[in-house]
Amino acid sequence: MLLQVGYPYSLNGLFSLIAIAGMAGGSLRIALGFLLPQFTSPWVLGLSMALLVLPALGMAVALQYHATLETLQVLALLSGLGGGCYSLYLQRLDTSLHHHQRHRVLGLGIGIGQLGMAASLILLPWVVTLGFWQSPGHILVDGKESSTLLGSVAGDRVWISNIGWAWSLLLTGLLLVLAALSGWERWGGGHGGLAPEQSRRTHNTVAQGMASTSWAIGVGLLVSMLGCWLTLPPEANGMGLQVSRELVMAAMLIIMLALLRLFPQVRQDNAHSPYSIFNNKHTWVMSVMCSMSLGSFLGLAAALPLTLEWTFGYVLAADGMRQPNPNAPGVFTYVWMGPFIGILMRPVGGWVADRFGGARTTQCCALVMMLAAAGAAFYLGAAYRAPEPEQYFFPFCLLMFVLFSAAGAGHASVLFSVERLFPASQQRHLNTWMAGIAAYGMFYIPGLLAEQLQRGTPEQAMVSFALFYALCLLLNGWFYLRREGTFYNP
């Protein structure tokens, strides 16, 4: 949407906002998930959510007064606290539910979280058209090519800072609900409050949670800043180091895990330590499978609006520059459909996995994703260089919808397999780890798409995704679909 309303940022700069938020979200998911105490206080969760209000308010003010790219990048980094809140939320559910309830409720919670991404693609483009924030000094932007769920609103005025205000109001409401529930849990039900000894234990748990939360946030943000600075191009305020993102991500994970291990709470080397999952080879295989499914879902959902706008909203002129396409389709009219379809396919994937096996379902999903990505590569490349790119819009979108469907179903089948491959003592930490690794898809996929779009070869990014899905196909088949393997079709 920043591109649609004419903000003067480069393409790499716009994609960097997505990549930074993805790197910070993934790092903080792992950091907070590994350092949480066994019982997660609702006040610790409340603190993290309260901190998340700060970037939302900052975004509202920054967009209102045309802030610099550096300011928006800092706010994108802080927005990664949403990933940390996700880990706290999973921890809270895990400690509050019986084992037989966790799989169903966690799956529902993850689905609701993904639904939020689809809902934001619907609601936020609509919110910016509401002119009820007409305060002095509020800058109105002429939206030359902006679009909403209902279609193009070319030439209409939009209040782009409403995005930040809307998130601030939503988070404030959630904080009030959490405070009310926490107060009821602390004092409610007519129990007359906590006994002195229990109260002391609760205060100790809160203090421990606050300390570990502070350390985890510091480590997560530090690692995220370093990783983004090393990989982002100079025009996006990065070093532009010519090394693969895979190596940088691996190095950042090693550094983060080493720093987290300095905190006393995770020094123990026993079956309940979060580091115990790394002794199981299936951790690494399932991490790759989760990157294929949930990582693709998150990364493509975040990067698709800007990719569609740059590919179909502009045409290649004779001087080699891209000029606005007068026949461009409304991006936000369709872009929410892919994530929404993927969410609807989650229960289908779980049902199929329960009937035919998790590994078989994952294998079919990987095959569909590979073919869909290969087909999408053809249409994306053709549209980028065509004088009328809109003719390729619907075939490309249909293939992306298929890819999202397979990703949603595949993630459900991966979780199904995880429940059968790992003991209950490791599943909480494994879910945290896999969710963090998958969130790095929001860093990797936008970065690769931005790089290839700048080179004029966006189809190569989709070909790379197709090759990765082919690797996942082979990996899943080797470990879980061989009769002589340790586990067959878990």
Q: In which band, very low, low, confident or very high, does the pLDDT at 341 lie, cut at 50, 70 and 90?
A: very high
How much is the pLDDT for 102?
Answer: 57
Cα-based angle 303, 233, 311 (whole degrees, multiple of 5): 35
For the chain, give the mean pLDDT.
80
Question: Residue 67: inside a domain, yes or no?
Answer: yes
With 90 as the cut, is the pLDDT of residue 321 above it? no
Question: Residue 486: inside a domain, yes or no?
Answer: no
Most distant CA atoms of the chain, gap in Å: 78
CB 330 within 8 Å of CB 305:
no
How much is the pLDDT for 106?
Answer: 62
Q: In which band, very low, low, confident or very high, does the pLDDT at 197 lie, cut at 50, 70 and 90?
A: very low
Question: Residue 257: inside a domain, yes or no?
Answer: yes
Q: In which band, very low, low, confident or very high, does the pLDDT at 441 lie, cut at 50, 70 and 90?
A: very high
How much is the pLDDT for 45?
Answer: 63
Residue 22 one-letter amino acid: G
Tally of domains in the chain: 1
How much is the pLDDT for 156?
Answer: 57
Rounded to an integer, the average pLDDT of 59-74 is: 84
Question: Residue 490: inside a domain, yes or no?
Answer: no
Question: Residue 485: inside a domain, yes or no?
Answer: no
DSSP symbol at 138: P
Give the three-state DSSP class for 98.
coil
Its sign, for the CA torsion 362, 363, 368, 374, is positive
Rounded to an integer, the average pLDDT of 384-389 is: 90
Query: Which H or E run contains 322?
Result: strand 322-324
How much is the pLDDT for 105?
Answer: 59
CA-closest candidate to residue 256, choices 80, 55, 100, 389: 80
User: Tell me, what CATH number does 24's domain have?
Assistant: 1.20.1250.20
Question: Residue 2: inside a domain, yes or no?
Answer: no
Domain span at 454: 11-480
Rounded to an integer, the average pLDDT of 198-218 is: 65
With 90 as the cut, is the pLDDT of residue 11 above it? no
pLDDT digits (tens, 9 = 90+) for 121-178: 777 777 777 766 554 334 444 444 555 555 555 445 667 777 888 878 887 887 777 6
How much is the pLDDT for 137?
Answer: 38
b/e map 287-302, b = 16+ CB within 10 Å: bbbbbbbbbbbbbbbb
Question: Residue 3: inside a domain, yes or no?
Answer: no
Task: Please tell me the distance from the alpha carbon of residue 252 to that of residue 292, in angstroms, as a whole number.
Answer: 20
Question: Among all chains, which residue has been given the structure tokens 């690797």?
Answer: 471
With 70 as the cut, is the pLDDT of residue 108 above it? no
pLDDT digits (tens, 9 = 90+) for 271-289: 567 888 898 889 999 999 9
